[in-house]
Amino acid sequence: MTTAVTRPAPTLSPLLGPGLLLAITIVALESVAMSTVAPEIARDLRGLSLYGWVSSAFMLACLTGAVLTGLVADRRGLAGSAGLALGLLGAGLVLVGFAPGMEVLIAGRVLEGLGVGGLNALPFAVIGRAYQGPAQARMLGAVAFAWMIPGLVGPWLAAQLAEVWTWRAVMWSLGALLAVAAPLCVLPLRSLPAGTGDRGGKRLLIYAVTLPVATGLLLEGLRRADLLSVPLVLLGVLGTAWAARPLFPPGILSLRPGLSAALGLRAAMAWAMMGTSPFLTLALQQLHGLNATQAGLILTVGGISWTLGANLQAWIERQYGEDTRRSRVAWAAVVLSGGVLLTLGGLTGPLPLWTVFAGWFIAGVGMGVGYNSNSLYAMSTAPQGQGGALSGQLANVEVLAVAAAAGLGGALIAQVQPTAQALTLILLLNLGVSLVPWLAVRRLR
C-alpha cells in the first residue's frame, strides 16, 4: 500500500482572491467599454479611417503580452508578471485617456494589449499554484462570474460616463480602479514560487513579436492607398507566414482533417462573432442614429446569449456525452450564420431594427454552443502532454482572427465611401466567413 504525496498548499493572503478577481473585472470592463465608446472616440478624434486599428492593435499586442509575461513569470514569479501586466495596462489607459489623436490612442491600445495579454493567463497560473481541490473549482467559477458581470453592465456604464461627461472619463475611471486593484493583486503573489525559466521561451518570444508586427504590416498595407501599400502587404505576408509556422500546426487554412480543421473552425467563428462586434455599435450609431447607451445594448445581448449557449453546451455534454460534439458544432454553425444574416438584414436591409438585436442573440447562442464544443473536440485530439501548447494555439488563432477581422473592416472603412456602404461590405464579409465552419465541421474526425 502506498501513500499519496500531496503538495503543501502555500500560505495564502486573504487579499489574493479579491485582488485577482478585481483585476479580471477591470480587464473585462475595459473590453466592453472600448467597444461601446469606440465610435465616439473616432468622431471626437476625427480618425474614422483608423477605426479598425483600435481593435487590431490591441488584439495583436495581446499575443506578444501573453508570451512576454509568461517569461517574466518563469524568471521573477507571478508577482513580477502580474506587476508588469498591470503596469502596461495602466500606462495604456493613461495614454488612451489623454490621447490628442488617433495615432497616440492606438499606441495606448498596444500597451493595453500587452498588459491584458498577460492578465488573461494570470488566473489559471495563480489558481494552479495557490489553490487545491475544491478551492480551484470555486475560484474558476468566480473568475467566470468576474468576466460575465462586466458584459452585462459594462456597456451601459461606459455609455453613461461618455454621454454625461466624456469618453475619456471611462479610461480615467478604469485607471483609478486599476490603481486600487494592483497592490491587492500583486503583493499576495510574492509568496508563490517562480517557474523554471525555460530557455525555449526566448525563441518563442521572437515569433510572438514577429507575427503581430507582420500581421500589422499586412493590415496597414491593405488600409493604405499609396505607394507603400504593396510593399507593406508583401512584407506582411512573408513575415506572417514565417512566424506562424512554429506557432501553429500545418493545414489550418486548408482545413486539414483533425486539429488543424478545429483551429480553422475556431478562427472562423471568432472572426464572425468577435470580429463583427466592434462594427455593430458603429453601424447602429451611424446608420440608425442610436446613442451610445442604446447601441451598447447589442454587446449586452451578445454576452447574455453566449453565456446561455455555453451553459446549454455543458448540459448537452453531460446528458449525451462527447459523441455529440461534432453534431453540436454543425448545428451551432448554422445558428451562428443565421443570426449574423438576421443582424445584417436589420442593419442594412429591409428588416426592422429589433431584428438586429434578435439576430445577435441567436448568433451568441450558436457561438456559445459551437465554440465550446469545438474546444472540447480540439483538446481531445491533443497528443499526450501537449495540452499547454494547444491552449496557446487556441488563444493565438482567436487573437489573429479577431485582429484580422478588425483590420480588414478598418481597411474597408478607410477605402470605401460612404461609410454605410463600407459597413455593409464588412457585414457581408463576416457573414461569408461564418459559413467556413460548415465546411470545417465535416473534417472533424
pLDDT above 90 for 307: no
The answer to whether residues 157 and 33 touch, using CB atoms and an 8 Å cutoff, is yes
Give the DSSP per-residue string, 65-120.
HHHHHHHHHHHHHHHHHHHHHHHHHHHHHHHHHT-SSHHHHHHHHHHHHHHHHHHH
Same domain, 264 and 377: yes
Residue 280: inside a domain:
yes
**357-401 pLDDT tens trace:** 999 999 999 999 998 888 888 877 766 655 556 767 878 888 899
Encode pLDDT of 247-277 as tens digits: 888 888 888 988 889 999 999 999 999 999 9
Over the stretch 182-214, which tens digit does the pLDDT of each residue have? 888 888 888 766 555 554 567 788 888 999 999
Count of alpha carbons within 13 angstroms of residue 298, beta-carbon side: 33
Look up the domain containing 383 and give its range.
Answer: 251-445
Q: Are residues 71 and 177 in the same domain?
A: yes
Residue 151 has what pLDDT?
Answer: 86
Residue 9 lies in a domain: no
CA atoms within 13 A on the CB side of 187: 11
Cell of 42: 473616432
Is residue 332 in a domain?
Answer: yes
* pLDDT tens-digit map of 319-356: 888 788 889 999 999 999 999 999 999 998 889 999 99
Tens of pLDDT, residue by residue over 403-425, are 999 999 999 998 998 988 999 99
Q: What is the CATH number for 346?
A: 1.20.1250.20
Assess if residue 4 is contained within a domain.
no
Residue 225's SS3 state is coil
Domain count, the chain: 3
* 396 neighbors 32 (Cβ within 8 angstroms): no
Give the pLDDT band of residue 58 (cuts 50, 70, 90).
very high
Q: Assign 11 a pLDDT band (cuts: 50, 70, 90).
A: low
